Structure 1
C-alpha cells in the first residue's frame, strides 16, 4: 500500500526546493519544446511504477523545461505568481478533491465560494447584488459574461434564445475597441458571434477606445447591442473612459461588458481607483485572480450585475439533479462547467492572508516596480518608452525592429529576466508586465542591468 503521508511529504520537499531556487535559477527554460518532447515521448508503459518513483521521475523529467514564472523577474504575458497562502490552499483543494457544483454535495467549498465572491465584489467596488462565477480564466469569464449579455439582449427584444437558438435570430451587434484582447474575440466566436457582427472603434496612441465616437456609432441602429470596454490594455496598461462609454451605451439600451483581466484590480487601491471611475455602472465584468491576486492557475472570475440573466444563460436543471433550495447558491448555476474544482478557495486564502490593505499594497508595489523599470530603461541609449506607465505595464523599443528583437532575445537567453516581445503600431516592441508579489527593488535593478548588458552587446 502506498504511504500517502511520505509521498506527500516528499512532494512538498521537491516543491519547496523549486521555490527556493526562484531567486537564482534562470528565468527561461534550459530545454525547448522539441527537446522536452524528445525526453518524455515514449509508449504507454506496460507496467506501473511506485507512486514515489513516479513523482521523482516527473520532477527529473520536467526540470529542464520549467520556466520560473513565479519569480519576481518574470514579466511575460501578465502572469502573476502564487502567494504562499494561495499555493498552500491549492494543495488542500487537490487533496480534498471536491467537485464544486452543487451546494448540497460540497457545502464547505460552496459556502467558501459564496463568501469569496462577495469579498471580490467588495474589493473591486462592484454592486453587492452581482452574481459571479469562478472559471478557468478570463477567456471563460468573457464567455460566461457575454453569454449572459447575449441572453439579456435577446430577451429585451422578446426573442426566446434558449428555445429558438441562434439560427434565424435577429442580428446582434458587438462594439469593440481596436486594441481589444484576443480572448474577447475568441469568446465571441465561441458564442456564435462572428467578425462581421463586430463594430470596431478606433483607439488613441495608448490603445484607449475613442469613446467620443461611440454615440454616432451606436445611433441609427436598433439591433441588440453589446459594448465591450477595456480596463487595462495588455501592452500599455491604459484604460478606456469607462464612465463615458457606459453612459453612452446605456442611453441606447446596450449591454456593457468590461474586460478587466488585470486592470480591474486597480479598483482595490485608493491611489489607482480613479483609473476605473464609473466601472460599477457596467453590466458585466471579467477578470483573473491568477494574474494580480496571485493565486495558482487557474482562476478567472465572471461577474454580472443581472443575476437572473446570468443564471438563465447558464441553465442547469436536469431530472437527476437535486437543484438547491433558494437559500443555497449552486456554483454550477453561474458557471459553464458542471465538474469544477474548488478554485475559489485559493482566492479566499489570498484575500484572508492579505486583507484589503494588503491587496492594495501588492497592486501598488507592482505599479511602483513598473515605474522603476521604465525609469531605468529610458536611461539606456536608444531605448524609447512608448506608453504612459499608468499601471503595471511598460512598453519600450529601441531604434529599429532588428535591434529591439535582438535585445529582448538576449535578455531572455541570459536568463536574468524574461519579458514578452510584442508589436505596437506595426513596430517591434518589448512588453514588461509586473504582476508578481515577489518583485522588489532588487528585481528592478537586476532587470534594468540585464537590458543594459544586452544594449551594449547589440
Structure 2
C-alpha cells in the first residue's frame, strides 16, 4: 500500500505532473522516488534532469534502477539518453548484463555514504570500528560474501573507457539491426524500435491471431538464437535484448533468418 505507480511521461516514463501530484499527496512522509534508466522492454529512460530536482525539492530520495541504462553514460554517443542521472541520490546496476560477469555481481552506488553506513553497520563488542581502512561490513549486510567485485574490476580494467563505450554501442547497433530485420518480415509488427539494446516485435498469422509465443519457441528450438516474450499493452510480444560482447553481424543475420523461417512455417 506504500507503493504508488506513476506514468504520464510517455511509454515507460514518469511524467513531471504525475510525480508532483504524488509528492504532494505524500504530505512530507519519508519518500523514495524510483526512476528508470533503460526500461526492460522499451529501453526508455526517465527525464532525470527534470524529475530529480522536483523530487529532491520535496525532500524525497531519488533512486535509479539502472540495470541496463546506467551504462549508457559510458558512451559519448548514447549518454544523452540519461542526461541528469548524476543528480540522483543512488543508483543500482548489474555486471552480469553488459559486463558479462557472474550473475550475482550487482552494484549499489550512492552519493550519501553516511546514510549507507547508518543503514548497514552493525556493532558488537568484539568488532573493531572506525579507522581509514574501508570495512565491507559498513556497506553490505553480507559479512561472509566472496569477493564479487573482482570480476567486475577485471572486466572494467580490461575494457577501459573506450572499450566499454564500444561494447555498449555495438550491442545497441546489433539490437537495432535484429529488430529492423525481423520487423520487415511479413507478419511481424514493430512495437518498440530500440533506442538502446532493447526492442519489441509482435507476430500475427494471416487471420490476425497473435502467434508471438509460438514464433519465439520455434526460434529458440532452432538453436540459432534465444529470445524471450513479454506482455505489452495486453498482448504477447517478443523482446529483443543484446548484451553479449561476442555478438557480431553474423549472429544478427542468423537471428533474422531463424525468425523468418519460424514465422514462415507458422503463418
8 Å Cα contact 1:218-1:249 kept in structure 2: yes
The alignment status of 1:281 with 2:80, answered yes or no, reads no
Equivalent position of 2:192 in the other structure: 387
Q: Give ranges in structure 2 of 5+ residues lacking alignment.
A: none
Q: In the TM superposition, what whole-angstrom CA distance separates every residue of 1:279-306 from its partner, at most 9, and x where no partner exists?
A: 1111111000111122122200001111
Whole-angstrom distance in 2 between the partners of 1:219 and 1:439: 47
C-alpha distance 401-344 of structure 1, shift in aligned 2 (>3 A): farther
- The structure that has the greater radius of gyration is 1
Counterpart mapping for 1:49-448 below 5 A:
196-203=1-8, 206-220=11-25, 221-323=27-129, 325-399=130-204, 402-448=210-256
- Number of matched pairs: 262
Q: Secondary structure at the match of 1:412?
A: helix
Q: CA offset at residue 388 of structure 1?
A: 3.4
Whole-angstrom distance in 2 between the partners of 1:375 and 1:432: 11
Q: CA offset at residue 247 of structure 1?
A: 1.2
Q: In the TM superposition, what whole-angstrom CA distance separates every residue of 1:416-448 from its partner, at most 9, and x where no partner exists?
A: 111111100110000011000010100000000
Q: CA RMSD in A?
A: 1.3
8 Å Cα contact 2:228-2:239 kept in structure 1: yes
Whole-angstrom distance in 2 between the partners of 1:401 and 1:271: 39
Q: In the TM superposition, what whole-angstrom CA distance separates every residue of 1:183-212 from its partner, at most 9, and x where no partner exists?
A: xxxxxxxxxxxxx11111124553112233
Q: CA offset at residue 322 of structure 1?
A: 2.8
Q: CA offset at residue 389 of structure 1?
A: 1.1
8 Å Cα contact 2:32-2:60 kept in structure 1: yes
Structure having the higher helix fraction is 1
More relative contact order, 1 or 2 (CA 8 Å, 6+ apart): 1
Whole-angstrom distance in 2 between the partners of 1:205 and 1:246: 17
Whole-angstrom distance in 2 between the partners of 1:355 and 1:336: 30
Structure 1: 4+ residue segments shifted above 6 A:
none
Whole-angstrom distance in 2 between the partners of 1:454 and 1:264: 34
The TM-score normalised by the length of structure 2 is 0.94
Whole-angstrom distance in 2 between the partners of 1:437 and 1:206: 28
Q: Secondary structure at the match of 2:192?
A: coil
The TM-score normalised by the length of structure 1 is 0.56
Q: CA offset at residue 402 of structure 1?
A: 3.6
Q: In the TM superposition, what whole-angstrom CA distance separates every residue of 1:250-298 from its partner, at most 9, and x where no partner exists?
A: 1111110000011100000000111111111111110001111221222
Q: CA offset at residue 320 of structure 1?
A: 2.1
